[in-house]
Amino acid sequence: MDRRQFLTLSPGRAKQTRNALARTASGMTPYTGSWGKLQLIHLLKRTTFGASPDHINAFSGMTMQQVVDALLTPQPDPAPPVNNYGVDDGGVAPGAVWVRAALGSEELERKRIGSYKAWWVGQMINQQAGIHEKMVLFWHNHFVTETTMVNDSRFIYQYNLTLRHHALGNFKALTKAVTLDPAMLVYLNGYLNSKGAADENYARELHELFTVGKGPDSRYTEDDVRATARVLTGFRVDRTNIVSTFNTTQHDLTNKAFSGFYGNKVISGQTGPDGAQELDELLKIIFLQPEVAKFICRKLYRFFVYYEIDQATEDNVITPLADIFRNSGYDITVVLRALLTSEHFFDPLNMACLIKSPADFCIGLLREFNVKFPADYPTQYEKWGAIHRVMALMLQNLGDPPLVAGWDAYYQEPSFHELWINTDTLPKRNQFSDGLIGNGINNLRIDPLAFADKMSDPGNPVTLVNDSLAVLYRIDVSDTLKTFLKDNILLAGQNTNAYWTNAWNRYKSTPSDMANTNDVIGHLQALYKYIMDLSEYQLS
């Protein structure tokens, strides 16, 4: 399929209105429309990686507000990664946690980082039914660090915990925590920032990428960057205790003046340990600027709703949402709750309009079909690592975004998420889904019998097709396609639905009849392979 043909299939409904005055006029009014399976699955697939029949059923019968409240419940820290790689010259035994061990050799650090990346995939696959895991990815793409540049596995793991601890908390507190995190201090040279030789690397990104952004209403100056760099002089990393420290002898004691964009504020230079408190004054100045809330709300919108923001969306969604965010004191949960319960979020034009990221595609597929992983940790890590490598080949290498700005698809105008799909990545997606529904990939495979058995009436071929499409697709398809799936795949050209009904009932009553069971499996494999190979499966 031609790339443009694919890309206009789904967001097609939205793109048809691009020349109109507004893509949609819906806004932040609380949603009071229909609340059924369609809306529930839309909410689950946007806030988690995939939605299996079990997850959908677990939330059925709950109100929208109850589901959103459950999704926004913070999750506890997961168990840390362990040594799955064998010999560890730091003395970490196989199966033991390495995150507090002494820094290893370059080769050992690469192995530990591999363990970390596999572990992170495991957290995504085994996530609870909540938004927490997806927010960790969101903040990883916002406050970017790269394992290849940090090169300390302990710092890298600790940074993931920093994002987890604040993922649904306060954005200002998260910004401070990131600023002082050892991984970020190493990544953007904050640990080299000294009086007389201020390093502006982190200071620039704090404004441009992390808080006010670089939109038309963001008018911070080079003097603001230089003043920020001087505020942040003196912070160092302790590689033994895996924490940041403050070196009073390397802090710039002079006053730091900011531009009119920041109200011409001045931070008075502080001596001794009080110098570290200048960071609080800096964040206070930055967070008084209304553009902070707007910038973050635009990023949340593009991640969870749609990547185009026209003037109507700016006026009807971004501006009021930013007001909510700012008035809450930058409470992340408050702003997410407002967005996820708005009429705009459930606007039909905002369904099936996002192209899945590699994480959404790969992790979502594994979770939708409840693909089973081995129980022993060495094999688990091996499989999780294999999934990580597949996602990296699809352009999303967890732990190593390509630039400090994050993955192109989340910010690169005008294509945004369309960048996930090209002549190289689309075949890789199809190969991944084909392999899992077929002979398996790395001994991982979809059990089509188990998935079909979760449907409401799998013995009825019409119902089975409809139920399967409701779970796996976010866009309605034609009756012609549904008839094709039933007649040509499930019925294999037979004239009556009873052909499938009898085969399914015989499987349920006599699964040891291998000829019939294998026949049922073959039909289901063909059905789900066909469904996943169509462009509609790439949409969320």
| 136-147 residue pLDDT tens | 999 999 999 999
d(CA 284, CA 231): 13
Q: Average pLDDT, whole number, for the chain? A: 95
Residue 7 has pLDDT above 70, yes or no: no
Q: pLDDT for 451-491, tens place per residue? A: 999 999 999 999 999 999 999 999 899 999 999 999 999 99
Assign 9 a pLDDT band (cuts: 50, 70, 90).
Answer: low
Task: Work out the average pLDDT over 152-169.
Answer: 98
User: Which tokens hold the place of 431?
Assistant: 């190969």
The pLDDT-based confidence of 8 (bands split at 50, 70, 90) is low
In this predicted structure, the answer to whether residue 155 has a pLDDT above a threshold of 80 is yes
Residue 339: closest CA among 36, 22, 23, 30: 30
Q: Contact 421/538 with Cβ under 8 angstroms? A: yes
Q: Is residue 214 part of a domain?
A: no
501 within domain boundaries: yes
Match 């606007």 to its residue by tokens.
Answer: 347
Phi, psi of 527 (to 5 degrees): -65, -50
Res. 339 pLDDT band, cuts 50 70 90: very high
Structural domain for 503, as ranges:
447-538
- Helix-helix angle 278-287:222-231, to 10 degrees: 150
Give the residue ranges of DSSP H helices in 195-346: 201-205, 222-231, 278-287, 291-304, 311-313, 319-327, 332-340
How large is the average pLDDT for residues 202-225?
Answer: 96
pLDDT of residue 5: 52
The pLDDT of residue 171: 98
In our burial notation (b when 16+ CB lie closer than 10 A, e otherwise), range 357-386 reads bbbbbbbbbbbbbbbebeeebeebbbbbbb
In 3D, which of 163, 159, 114, 176 has the Cα closest to residue 134? 163
CB 136 within 8 A of CB 121: no
Task: Express as a percent the part of the chain with pLDDT over 70.
Answer: 96
Q: Is the peptide bond before 461 cis (omega within 30 degrees of 0)?
A: no
pLDDT tens per residue, range 88-103 = 999 999 999 999 999 9
Per-residue pLDDT tens digits for 251-274: 999 999 999 999 999 999 999 999
Collapsed DSSP state (helix, strand, coil) of residue 221: coil
Residues in the chain: 540
Average pLDDT over residues 150-176: 98
Local confidence band at 4 (pLDDT 50, 70, 90 cut-offs): very low
d(CA 95, CA 436): 28
Hey, what are 174's tokens? 């998260």
d(CA 305, CA 475): 15
Number of domains in the chain: 1
Contact (Cβ atoms closer than 8 angstroms) between residue 195 and residue 252: yes
Q: Does the structure show a pLDDT above 50 at 19?
A: no
Judged against a pLDDT cut of 70, whether residue 18 lies above it is answered with: no
* pLDDT band for position 215 (cuts 50, 70, 90): confident
Task: Tell whether pTM > 0.75.
Answer: yes
Give residue 42's pLDDT.
97
Look at residues 271, 334, 269 and name the one whose alpha carbon lies nearest to residue 28: 334
- pLDDT above 90 covers a percentage of the chain that reads 94
Higher pLDDT, 162 or 10: 162
Is residue 27 one of the residues assigned to a domain?
no
Q: Is residue 399 part of a domain?
A: no
* Residue pLDDT, tens place only, 30-43: 999 999 999 999 99
Helix (H) / strand (E) element for 236: namely strand 235-238
**Model confidence at 16: pLDDT above 90:** no
The band of 15, judged by pLDDT with boundaries at 50, 70 and 90, is very low
Contact 166, 179 (CB under 8 A): no
pLDDT band at 406 (very low <50, low <70, confident <90, very high): very high
Distant-in-sequence, close-in-space partners of 291: CB < 8 Å, separation ≥ 6: 212, 213, 215, 217, 218
Is the per-residue pLDDT at 10 higher than 80? no
d(CA 210, CA 202) in angstroms, rounded, equals: 10
Rounded Cα distance between 540 and 408, Å, is 18
18 assigned to some structural domain = no
State both tokens at 377.
């940790």
Task: Judge whether 273 lies within some domain.
Answer: no
How many Å is the maximal CA-CA distance in the chain? Answer: 87
- Asked whether residue 459 is assigned to any structural domain, the reply reads yes
Q: Is the pLDDT of residue 11 over 70?
A: no
Tell me the one-letter amino acid at 326: R
Residue 511 belongs to some domain of the structure: yes
